[in-house]
Structures are given as C-alpha cells and as structure tokens.
Structure 1
C-alpha cells in the first residue's frame, strides 16, 4: 500500500516558471504573478504518477512530494 502524499513548494526557491501547473493542472494553479498555488496539497492516488513527474521536471527543484502525516 502506498502512503498518502502531499505536494509542497519551496517558495524561496521557486522562480515562477509555471511548469508544475502545466504538468499537473488538477492540483496546481498559478497566481497573478505566475507562482504556483496549491489549494489542497493532498495528492490522490490516481494523480501520484503525474505529481512525481511534475516534481522531477521542476527546473529549480522547488516542488516536492512529502509523505502525509498520519492522523492522530
């Protein structure tokens, strides 16, 4: 069984290229300056492969995929 994952952004490193939003529009939007916005960081199982690809494609390594904390 795969652990739940959460999408995160290092806002200091991010330079707003928007590639993450192009590769993963289901989870990542862009604000008015072109920086990523993730309204719900939980990554559904059916989007995990796409999320991994978006993380790997980030040119400045600002996007990350973390294990979600266990409830309780």
Structure 2
C-alpha cells in the first residue's frame, strides 16, 4: 500500500491565497515605485550633496571683458 501525506485543504487554500496576494503586492511595489516621503528624502539628500559639491568648486578669476574675450 502506498502512503500519501494528509493535506488540510483549508490550510492549502489559505497558503495559496497568501502566496498570490504576496505576488500581487510585489508586482504593485515594482509598478508604483518608492513612496513619496522616501522619494522626497532621497531628492533632498541629492540636492544637499550637489550644493556641497558646488560649494567646493574652484573658480578661476576671470580676466578680460564681460563677454569673455581675452584682454588685448
């Protein structure tokens, strides 16, 4: 005689439904991206970093006229 595992159908249906909901949630996370609050925080951090970077830029003193022509 071959013995098989006894399966509780209610638990199997719930597990299947749970897996389907999780798969749909993952698809939605991919489709809708990151939350607005995280997106704003990331952009603020990028702006802050860019501002710091620009603040450290070395600017050569311009010599010549306002239109950028070299002095003659």
Q: Give the shorter-chain TM-score range.
A: under 0.3
- Hey, which of these two has a bigger chunk of strand by percent? 1
Higher relative contact order, structure no. (Cα contacts within 8 Å, ≥ 6 residues apart): 1
TM-score (norm 1): 0.21
Larger gyration radius, structure 1 or structure 2: 2
Give TM-score, length-normalised by structure 2. Answer: 0.21
Query: Higher helix share goes to which structure?
Result: 2
